[in-house]
Amino acid sequence: MRIQAIFNKDGGTFRTTDMEAYVRHAERVFGDAGHHLDCDVVEGADIEMALRRCADRTDLDAMLAGGGDGTISAAAGFAWESGISLGVVPAGTMNLFARTLRIPLNIWHALDALAEGTVAEADIGSANGRAFVHQFSAGMHARMVRLRNAMTYRSRVGKMAANVRAAVGVMLDPPDFEVEFDVDGVKEHRRVSAINVSNNRFGNDGLLYADDVTGGHLGFYVANPLTSRGVARLATDILRGKLRENADVTEMTGSAVDLHFPKIDRAVNCVIDGELLPMGKDVALRLHAGELKVIVPRVEAQQSSPRNEAAA
């Protein structure tokens, strides 16, 4: 395969990595596996432009994207649009999509797994046409990200500490809002504190990511209006892997979810794959089954992916 790598040098682990040494190692690992790999190391401000240019090329078999969840989400969107295969190097804080794909979280080990990997078909979601590989959320998560973004931090540990402080802020003042939703024709009108729509249903890990992205559905979760104590109980259940046992949470699945927020009268936010974005009164979420080609570790693909393609 002819592969182009785009590494976000401002993303998480890469900030403290000797990128020249990493690029040399990556080119050697892929060369030994019979591929041709070229690498570009770019600043965070330029990452989307570099990913778009890469995805638009017609002389490549695959694109390798390295960075945090925001970088990987953007890369997946471009790869989905162009039809190019995507390899994920997990250099961020949470690396949620990489966890779902069972890619080693060590950036050096990930190269070995991807170089010897295979191409498989994965599901991808969209929110009003914008791609997401992990989730769309509104309510508590959006408020937490907004609070965290207002803080200053310079490292992965600092970001995690900011997340904790932001979570406490949400616990002390949880949101409460109205939503009308339609999940594959099942319609309801509720007051809620949180909405999450995931690319396939969440597994039981406390980080809330899908165990598999070949199930062909969206996971839909709403939490009833919560008190501070209710938020604390929900957080505890999530960390224990007991989300589905929480009485305030409703879970549904479907291929199409339509949301309407009847009382939005000011600027509000949602979160798509970790990025805080403006949200209007109506959001159409869709699941695009098997439309994203991803490089996955060969043993994992053989064991759990029902939609394998030709070996990479």
* pLDDT tens digits along 112-137: 999 999 999 999 999 999 999 999 99
- CA–CA separation, 237 vs 143, rounded Å? 20
Coil vs helix vs strand at 282: strand
Band (310; pLDDT cuts 50, 70, 90)? very low
**pTM (predicted TM-score):** 0.89
* pLDDT tens digits along 124-183: 999 999 999 999 999 999 998 888 777 776 666 676 677 777 777 788 889 999 999 999
Antiparallel, parallel or unpaired: β 62-67 and 85-90 = parallel
pLDDT(236) > 80: yes
- CA–CA separation, 52 vs 113, rounded Å? 25
Q: Which residue has the tokens 């030994």?
A: 32
- CA–CA separation, 223 vs 194, rounded Å? 5
